[in-house]
Amino acid sequence: MERGNSYSFRGKSPKIADTAFIAPGAQLIGDVEIADRASVWFNCVLRGDVCHIRIGARSNIQDGTVIHVNSGDFPTLVGEDVLIGHKVMLHGCESQARAFVGRSSVRMGTCVVETGAMVAAGAFLPPGKIARKGELWAGWPAKPIRAMTDEEAAMVVNGPANYAELAAEFRRLQD
Ligand SMILES: CC(C)(COP(=O)(O)OP(=O)(O)OC[C@H]1O[C@@H](n2cnc3c(N)ncnc32)[C@H](O)[C@@H]1OP(=O)(O)O)[C@@H](O)C(=O)NCCC(=O)NCCS
């Protein structure tokens, strides 16, 4: 299986750990770093042209997600063991370790999803908002709608490890 496409921009090229899985069709541009066992799934775009993008160990960026940055000093940072669902839009924002970002959500500049916080599917998190540990944010625009359940908290912790296993299986097809 082929790996995604990487492009240099302004002298910076994507740096991808050997154990990371980059699916065919993913496009990585410029100042992008992908850590060990992280995965970037089919047809994602990570454009680190006017600032940088960092994806932490074992985190997964699911199919069709678009990640960009804001110019100035507004990178997009994804910590370790983060789940970013299908078709998410991240733009100059931070997802701390073990954050959960639901599918088709949109996250604008400088917003933060803290460790152990959850953004529901289809949510819109406006600039500057902070989802705190244990909170579930949902809606358009998103608001904290309730505390996460114990089940959700467990899913946030365990989900990325399961995804890292799946990614490793796909990664072996590329050797
Ligand atoms: C929000 C979420 C956690 C479900 O919460 P829940 O409390 O179990 O939801 P329920 O099904 O009991 O619905 C409760 C209410 O919230 C609404 N609701 C459910 N999901 C919602 C969402 N994503 N955004 C807005 N409202 C939502 C329901 O319509 C319902 O409204 P009602 O009371 O007016 O009928 C879930 O829908 C979700 O978004 N999970 C994330 C899935 C995902 O993106 N995974 C990524 C990996 S692929």
pLDDT tens profile 103-115: 999 989 999 999 9
Ligand 1 mutation target, pool 65, 100, 119, most atoms within 8 A of CB: 100
The pTM of the full predicted model, rounded to 2 decimals, is 0.96
- CA proximity to 156, closest of 110, 113, 112, 94: 113
Distance from the alpha carbon of residue 119 to the mean position of ligand 1, in angstroms: 10
Domain of 98, CATH number, reads 2.160.10.10
- Mean pLDDT value across residues 148-160: 95
Distance from the alpha carbon of residue 12 to the mean position of ligand 1, in angstroms: 40
- Mean pLDDT value across residues 68-94: 96
The number of folded domains in the chain is 1
Sign of CA dihedral 140, 125, 22, 8: positive
Rounded Cα gap, residues 161 and 140, in angstroms: 30
Distance from the alpha carbon of residue 139 to the mean position of ligand 1, in angstroms: 9
**What is the span of the domain harbouring residue 148?**
5-172
What are the tens digits of pLDDT across the range 8-66? 999 999 999 999 999 999 999 999 999 999 999 999 999 999 999 999 999 999 999 99
Is 160 a pocket residue for ligand 1 (Cβ < 6 Å)? no
Q: What is the pLDDT of residue 120?
A: 98
Q: Is the pLDDT of residue 72 over 90?
A: no
104 CA: nearest ligand 1 atom: 44
- CA proximity to 62, closest of 79, 75, 46: 46
